[in-house]
Structure 1
């Protein structure tokens, strides 16, 4: 599906997202232009209703623009069918959510194996890759514990292991520290930062916390469906 290596892994071109018709039409995105290069770590911030979550849904191929373009590795997502977009998500994008989204009665390693199951990996290979992913987040010792037996920080690290087990090109993190205390938040952010630096995974993170955004290489602010005209904030070195 993806055969070229363009300058940007993510590119929004005059992207518009609207809902409703006529006088009831509302705009979540109003002609957004955004470019993200391979290997960047970008934080997206903005008040409620600013369009940041809509932009993330489009970038994650969970939604499509009303007009304009979204290019993923040079491929115009608007030309893909629903099934093709699902395949793109499955093979190229990892997701981390604020609420962890783990299966409650399933062990940590089985939760991490789930994306590999969808991709048809044989059981022994799924197990080996899932264990390696848990090892990379420091949780191989709780591989057979259920989420209820883990702390919030451990659950989020299991969710990160699940997101990176398929070696995604892009990792989307939606408020990944929103349910964690400060110490656990720092652990998670240092982990994400290490995956960006050491594995070269492109990370796009929505957050409302400025101290968490500082871990990114670049911060983009959304307001009223547009990217704020204020200069983009760069993280501390």
Structure 2
């Protein structure tokens, strides 16, 4: 993978919500480039625009102005189905709340994105087992979320996010529901996926010790990027 190739580009991106006196400017003309293979942490206070930026990167929202480009494609020109296809083929999501199906086994949870792709059962079962092995859960394939710890549940969620071999992993407060030890274990796993498999990682976090795992730190304030700096990863 060419680490210098542009994956994400924001070109004077603005995002407004509401109208008239209720208008809220969540992003105010943001310029940003994320290259393939990077690991970035996005930080900032509540209302700073970091979550809005993440939603746009994940093709869950669109700019009100400017352009958002993914692999050079102007995502604003795509229709709903095309954006869904882009998400399905190129992006994996990890959330604070795990978002697992409670009565479904770990391997069945991980298979879900492959079902949406129409993959045959035997192939998707094999790929899900490999993904669980990559996150250290070999032997736990048939455990339900209730039979797993919080850290293990997040590992299942990460396996589900990477089972499609995405170019981009978006992590929204991935350690927010975990204790300190489990948080560091999850961050080491995410950092390893970036370093060993070349998956680009963009993570929103409010925790400085979690942000320290990233090699680039982007801080939002009032809809603007207030700082963008390289850092030595933890």
Matched, 1:111 2:109: yes
CA shift for structure 1 position 236 = 3.5
What is aligned with 1:205? 203
Figure out how many residues of one structure are paired with residues of the other and give that number.
Answer: 232
1:89-133 Cα shifts (integer Å, max 9, x gaps)? 000000000000000000000000000000011000010000000
Contact residue 109 and residue 130 of structure 1 kept, 8 A:
yes
What is aligned with 1:171? 169
Note the aligned Cα RMSD (angstroms): 1.3
Matched, 1:49 2:61: no
Where 1:65 maps in the other structure, the secondary structure is: coil
CA shift for structure 1 position 231 = 5.1
What is aligned with 1:236? 233
- From 84, 87, 108, the equivalent of 2:82 is 84
Contact residue 57 and residue 63 of structure 1 kept, 8 A:
yes
TM-score when scaled to structure 1? 0.95
Counterpart Cα distance in 2 of 1:52 and 1:29: 9
1:126-173 Cα shifts (integer Å, max 9, x gaps)? 100000000001102110010011000000000000000000000000
Unaligned runs of 5+ in 1: none
What is aligned with 1:37? 35
TM-score when scaled to structure 2? 0.97
**58 and 117 in structure 1: CA distance in 2 versus 1, 3 angstrom threshold:** same
